[in-house]
Amino acid sequence: MAHQLVIVESPAKAKTIQKYLGDDFQVLASYGHVRDLQPKEGAVDTEHDFAMRYTPIERNERHVDAIAKALRGADKLWLATDPDREGEAISWHLVELLRERQLLGDKPTQRVVFHEITKKAVQEAIAHPREIAMDLVNAQQARRALDYLVGFNLSPLLWRKVRPGLSAGRVQSAALRLICERENEIEAFVSREYWTIASRLQHAGSAFTGRLTHWQNKKLEQFDIADGDQAQAIRSGMEDDLGRQALRVREVERKSRQRQPAAPFTTSTLQQEASRKLGFNASRTMRVAQQLYEGINIGNETVGLISYMRTDAVNLAEEAIASIRTFIDGYYGSEFVPETPRRYKTKTKNAQEAHEAIRPTDIARTPESLQGVLERDLWRLYDLVWKRSIACQMAPARLDLVAVDMDAGTHWTLRANGSTVTFPGFMAVYQEGKDDGDEDESNRILPPLDVGDEPLVLGIDPEQHFTEPPPRYSDATLVKTLEAHGIGRPSTYASIIQTLQNREYVAVEQRRFHPTDLGRVVGRFLINHFERYVDYGFTASMEDELDAVSRGEKQWQPVLSAFWSPFRALLDEKANVSRAEATSEALEEACPQCGKPLFLRLGRHGRFVACSGYPECNYTRPVDGPREPAEPVGRDCPDCGKPLVYKTGRYGRFISCSGYPECKHIEPLTQPKSSGVTCPQCGEGELVEKRSRYGKVFYSCNTYPKCTYAVWGPPVARPCPRCGWPIMIEKSGKRLGEQLACPQSECAFHFPANASDAEIAALLPGYSPPPPREKRAPPAKKAAPARKTTAKTAKKPATEATAVAAQKTAKAKTTSAAAKKPAASKARGPSAGEGKTSPSRKRAAKGASDS
């Protein structure tokens, strides 16, 4: 039996570390957090020095029980959770739980951290244990308390003032503000026209381009050529000059430049680069990086392939630098190794320098050696980390930059820029990706040109441009901006972005974040009423305070007290804000019906424009302008005789009566596809293909609602060999393949689609139909509301309440049984689900209602 117990966070890491430590150790996983604040009011007691009330996390209790059981037979406890504040807090919470169970006693308990999961690193960590760092624990407790106080007090206010079920967080609200403000900039942006003129040139067999930089001996600014007429006039003047004199090189400027490699990855730069180069969002990047850190089976061993992936430090261990330089010397050559090792200093405030940057645990383990061994995502991210780590210790790239000025002896100048790489250096391995607007114009290759050369002019091309608004945030640019403002920590960026998406505050379209109508209303409410607490500077200053707590420079209770007092006062003040004020935004536009101001309001299906005089004036219209008149279909309604028109609902376009809501006649835009099979229930209609509201195909009678027969599978006009039902349906599955089945649930006879009559006859004697489905009893918790109601009103005897519940259950059973009875012909669909044609009908009806 193992005498020493090691606790890590994940089972994958536990499995890897167990192999390194041997049989004297037992390694178990806590599966993340083991305790959290009680999910109710008062979990942080603001009246008693912010005392925090914790409760075990239910889903992880069995893992804590397993740890407790193993600890009874162990002599020592090692806490090896992740090397960050959160990991430190998990270790502390676990110790507190075990202490409550009186399992620790005199057993030694020590903390170790693994910055990488390799045999050497694990054994070195075990040889250098320490105590739990309470400063880190307190910083994490303070962060959790802050998030609780903001979320638990601000979210209910949003429920009352905007919409139930919303949430607001200390950090996510600042991120939402960034996205909403960028959208406001885009909407307010006024595009402006401008023109550029470029000349297509050729020299020594190579084509290149020269752009017009000076006209009438004046340097051209962006908007100096404002329209096409001016551009054509300039083009004509240049052509006239070139007709009199050839274009000649007047000046050639050459200079050398060095390009330095980027620092090794931190959490944020890894997320940015994975977004640019691999198309990963932040959550996906962290999920894959976690797997690479915890350990991967690479054939001959299970090993962690990268160092710890939650870090904001850019420094590397001296041993890692030495191994990288040795590898570069042997693999690329001595000229690629700089004279002195590169040592990077982080520019991020409060970076945790105790951590290393993200790097491979063994630089000799090249991506090529792991190709085909790792899954695709794992390999691509490892390849990125490996190349960045190699490049950061390589020699700089050397480039020759060339700028050539040309003219025809007149008042205008063409300039051509280019560059030549004379020594690739780190660029032989890796080049950092670029964000929007970071293009480098000098990355062109020019032919050899000297003063006096006369390049051939192939043409002069004016080109129209329009200024563009700032681009919406991508994963990479949002993480970069959050880091620049000091909002959040490296480990929180992925969860911030995911929370905004889960709450439907933002939507991702073409890998860009667009604020939803709900997100914009929430963002506006927070900015208008809690501006200080969603301010970028305030959020960053709170991070500074938490960092000071983690360094032992401040106590966490005074930090919370300084935050809570003004926040509580503001909450009380804003409790009187009306819902209309919270969800409405005044527009500089008058109502066309009554002349009162128009407001932008939030409805069930998004924002819309409405009159402030409601309910006296019921004018409304979409945000993007007045509604266009409904397009006529060209025929009349069969029910009331009024013209039919095309409308658009939440499920798309459909045909509706123009007399709505007095007449509710609706039709689908396209006629359902016929199966050619007569309905077996009514014998009059045909079974046609339809789709449910969730997109699933089913087949129903086209005389609906007169006949409600429907089946899920494609119908076949072939009677069932067993019960004689007029049709069969096609089914397919991995186990049985293509089958024909009877749609009657009491028969359900099935056989291979290509079976012969003899094979079918052989199946019949041994076939037994499935037993009828038993109706499930209602869950016990359904009775809870009745008990709660009787407690608040008159206290009925328990027997009476039971009798009432029994009557309701009996009534429900009777209703359900009646609903399942067959039609007059006693024909029955395969199941309650298969007898529904209503989804498409309901969808069209909802469309009519929404429009």
Residues annotated as part of the active site? 308
Whole-number Å distance between alpha carbons of 17 and 1: 17
Whole-number Å distance between alpha carbons of 77 and 377: 36
Residue 319, C-beta contacts closer than 8 angstroms, at least 6 positions apart: none
Measured CA to CA in angstroms, residue 273 lies from 279, 289, 352, 388, 426 at distances of 9, 13, 21, 10, 17
Compute and round to an integer the Cα radius of gyration of the chain. 36
Whole-number Å distance between alpha carbons of 625 and 589: 12
For residues 419 and 399, is the Cβ–Cβ distance under 8 A?
Answer: yes
How large is the greatest C-alpha to C-alpha distance in the chain, in angstroms? 111
Q: How far is CA 242 from the centre of its chain?
A: 56
Q: Which residue has the tokens 């991995």?
A: 734
Residue 293, C-beta contacts closer than 8 angstroms, at least 6 positions apart: 13, 116, 117, 304, 305, 306, 307, 308, 309
Q: DSSP secondary structure string, 176-212?
A: HHHHHHHHHHHHH----EEEEEEEEEEETTEEEEEEE
Residue 787, beta-bridge partner list: none
For residues 96 and 33, is the Cβ–Cβ distance under 8 A?
Answer: no
Backbone torsions φ then ψ of 363, nearest 5 degrees: -65, -20
Residue 587, C-beta contacts closer than 8 angstroms, at least 6 positions apart: 597, 598, 599, 600, 609
For residues 528 and 536, is the Cβ–Cβ distance under 8 A?
Answer: no
Backbone torsions φ then ψ of 770, nearest 5 degrees: -65, 150
Long-range contacts of 651-657 (CB under 8 A, 24+ apart): 651/693, 651/843, 651/844, 651/846, 651/847, 652/847, 654/844, 654/847, 654/848, 656/847, 656/848, 656/851
Neighbours of 811 (CB within 10 A): 10
Whole-number Å distance between alpha carbons of 504 and 501: 5
Whole-number Å distance between alpha carbons of 681 and 828: 8
Buried b (16+ CB within 10 A) or exposed e, 501-511: bebebbeeeee
Backbone torsions φ then ψ of 80, nearest 5 degrees: -120, 40
Q: What interhelical angle do 282-294 and 493-502 show, nearest 10? A: 130
Q: How far is CA 63 from the centre of its chain?
A: 30
